[in-house]
Structure 1
């Protein structure tokens, strides 16, 4: 009887999981802006609290100030990035011509080396910007279609941020009423932990972006690549997409190095510099800056990136780690789900050592206790 009940419970849990994934996929245009708004609300809430407590501003004025500051900051970042990208688009013909010449030289060299014959895989005409646009017209149409949803998100997210900040006490009361079986102190503790981990993630991410942006810029400056600070901080900004963002960020300056320098070694140097800085970021900078507060192990982090990218695309990759860190807190605080919270967290030393080493360590501690 107990086995049958367990099977029924497992089947219901599986159906519930499938239903949740289906709902998250179908309601992506509604859910993703709300999640971004929650994260941005956490980011600007210290300013809101400062205005309300230190300057004695009423909540409406403080909320409007925070939203306007957020819009200005995001708009400034987009303006700086788009203006520089437009500059490179204006010079795309020059870059494509130089890349075409380099490509032809490489093909000719290979043909001469391996005695393939004078077969042209690509012509100079194929590398022109207008021909690339014509060949990928369908992809550009899809991009323009998706950009309309991005524009709508840019309108909705500030509205959501406003209400999350202005109605925060109202939403907290709703959570109290929705979970009547839990005490207010327990709910407050969970909410505070979620807020702290999100704030720690955001502040740590901003600090890491600044440090990595400076290192990238110095590396490009040493190589003599044009616009080093733009490319350096653009690649650092793409750290929002963990593990993959640095690869995307290194491609553009590497291509520019191929087009503007006499040797391909400059492009290899760009990729090498960015790879070395990524190694420093993953093994030294991020652990020192964020510490152990965002305790998600590497296996779960990579798995969440894959799953959320399948679910929501690039936006899912950006949201993967904050959502996973929040799920860990919820699992740790929910009876019966502690094992899942344990699985998401970082393993301790005893989980990374062999049994023989653990027995030796235990024997040494017992011997020390015996003779002390």
Structure 2
């Protein structure tokens, strides 16, 4: 009888999990901007709190100014990126001619050996980058619009941020009332405090990783003598928001610039090699150690969560994977039924990495020393 109940319980848990994943997939256009708003609200809350407590400003005014400052910073970053791209686009004809001259012998040899027309590879010389952008603008915007409704996220998230910050005390009181039968107010206050701390630590870790990767990218490009080294270095770091794909996008442009401005193909190969090596360090050491440790997730779970959330929500899912998983860990840690899952998601203690043979040797040495003393 107990076995039957246990099987039924497992079946119900599995059904509940599948239902939850299905709902999360179907409601992604609603949930993604909502989660972004929660995380970004945590980011700007200290500013809002400062305005309200130190400057004694009205809550609505404080929130509005904080969101405006945040939006202005994001806008300034995109404007700087736009100016740099515009400068590179203005030199596109020069870069095109230089690249064509360097790979012309290779194209000629390819045309002789395979019969493939070189124009089919390089395209028409009259086709400028501006024209390519115009011809493909519809496809570019369709890609952005369908990648987890990114445009909708940018529109809805500031609105949700404003409402979250405005009604924060009201929402906390609602949580207390909704959980009064299953959790004491003191315990719920502790859980909410840990959730807030987790998000703050995640954002701090993410910014730290971007700075480290941006500096490493820039140093690598400076050593190779590539133009716009700091721009490409930190632009590649910014694209860490899109794991795996971002590094490919970030390395293509500096590799082409190196091919156009340097006298050897190896500079382009070097650019790709530098970005690839730094991406390897970031994915396997920097992010799991810095961001993963900041939010108390082990490296294995950090990588798996990024993969699974990317399958569920695409590119926005990659960005949200770690903070959402870390929040789930906090909830699991405070649930008797889910405590084992919280343990699985957390950092593994040193004893789980110990060598059994080495431990036995230590014990044997202790016994031998005790015998010698006796």
* TM band (smaller chain): 0.7 to 0.9
Go from structure 1 to structure 2 and tell me whether the alpha carbon gap of 1:337 and 1:362 turns closer, same or farther (over 3 Å shift).
farther
How far residue 20 of structure 1 moved from its aligned partner, in angstroms, is 1.1
Q: Is this contact kept in 1: 2:239–2:247, CA < 8 A? A: yes
How far residue 111 of structure 1 moved from its aligned partner, in angstroms, is 7.5
Q: Which residue of 2 aligns with 1:322?
A: 323
| Residue 24 (structure 2) pairs with residue 24 (structure 1) | yes
Distance in 1 (CA, whole Å) between partners of 2:46 and 2:152 is 27
1:34-183 matches, within 5 Å, as 34-109=34-109, 116=113, 118-120=115-117, 122-125=120-123, 128=127, 139-140=139-140, 142-143=142-143, 145-146=145-146, 149-180=149-180, 181-183=182-184
How far residue 138 of structure 1 moved from its aligned partner, in angstroms, is 7.8
Higher mean C-alpha deviation, range 34-43 or range 327-336: 327-336
Distance in 2 (CA, whole Å) between partners of 1:303 and 1:310 is 11
Q: Secondary structure at the match of 1:334?
A: coil
Q: Is this contact kept in 2: 1:214–1:232, CA < 8 A? A: yes
Distance in 2 (CA, whole Å) between partners of 1:22 and 1:222 is 49
Compute the RMSD of aligned alpha carbons.
3.2
How far residue 321 of structure 1 moved from its aligned partner, in angstroms, is 1.1
Distance in 2 (CA, whole Å) between partners of 1:98 and 1:357 is 60
Higher mean C-alpha deviation, range 54-63 or range 327-336: 54-63
Q: Which residue of 2 aligns with 1:331?
A: 332
Q: Is this contact kept in 2: 1:350–1:358, CA < 8 A? A: no
Go from structure 1 to structure 2 and tell me whether the alpha carbon gap of 1:365 and 1:238 turns closer, same or farther (over 3 Å shift).
farther
How far residue 72 of structure 1 moved from its aligned partner, in angstroms, is 0.9
How far residue 179 of structure 1 moved from its aligned partner, in angstroms, is 1.1
How far residue 65 of structure 1 moved from its aligned partner, in angstroms, is 1.4
Higher mean C-alpha deviation, range 358-367 or range 185-194: 358-367
Per-residue CA shift, 1:197-216, capped at 9, x if unaligned?
11111122223322332332
Q: Which residue of 1 aligns with 2:309?
A: 308
Q: Which residue of 2 aligns with 1:196?
A: 197
Q: Secondary structure at the match of 2:293?
A: coil
How far residue 218 of structure 1 moved from its aligned partner, in angstroms, is 3.0
How far residue 359 of structure 1 moved from its aligned partner, in angstroms, is 3.4
Q: Which residue of 2 aligns with 1:233?
A: 234
How far residue 162 of structure 1 moved from its aligned partner, in angstroms, is 0.7
Distance in 2 (CA, whole Å) between partners of 1:369 and 1:303 is 47
Q: Is this contact kept in 2: 1:235–1:249, CA < 8 A? A: yes
Per-residue CA shift, 1:49-76, capped at 9, x if unaligned?
2122222223222111111111111111
How far residue 369 of structure 1 moved from its aligned partner, in angstroms, is 8.4
How far residue 44 of structure 1 moved from its aligned partner, in angstroms, is 0.7
Distance in 1 (CA, whole Å) between partners of 2:349 and 2:110 is 52
| Larger RCO (CA under 8 A, 6+ residues apart) | 2
Q: Is this contact kept in 1: 2:147–2:315, CA < 8 A? A: no
Per-residue CA shift, 1:301-348, capped at 9, x if unaligned?
221111111111111111111111111111111112122112212222
Give the number of equivalent residue pairs.
369
Go from structure 1 to structure 2 and tell me whether the alpha carbon gap of 1:126 and 1:175 turns closer, same or farther (over 3 Å shift).
farther
Q: Secondary structure at the match of 1:292?
A: helix
| Residue 265 (structure 2) pairs with residue 267 (structure 1) | no
Q: Is this contact kept in 1: 2:198–2:294, CA < 8 A? A: yes
> TM-score with structure 1 length normalisation?
0.86
Distance in 1 (CA, whole Å) between partners of 2:52 and 2:245 is 40
Q: Is this contact kept in 1: 2:111–2:117, CA < 8 A? A: no
Go from structure 1 to structure 2 and tell me whether the alpha carbon gap of 1:357 and 1:155 turns closer, same or farther (over 3 Å shift).
same
Distance in 2 (CA, whole Å) between partners of 1:361 and 1:345 is 28
Q: Is this contact kept in 2: 1:223–1:266, CA < 8 A? A: yes
Per-residue CA shift, 1:73-132, capped at 9, x if unaligned?
1111222223323443444454445445544433445688xxx45544744326855796
> TM-score with structure 2 length normalisation?
0.86
How far residue 157 of structure 1 moved from its aligned partner, in angstroms, is 1.0
Q: Which residue of 1 aligns with 2:358?
A: 357
Distance in 2 (CA, whole Å) between partners of 1:148 and 1:198 is 22
Per-residue CA shift, 1:162-202, capped at 9, x if unaligned?
11111111111111112112011111111111111111111
Gaps of 5+ in 1: none
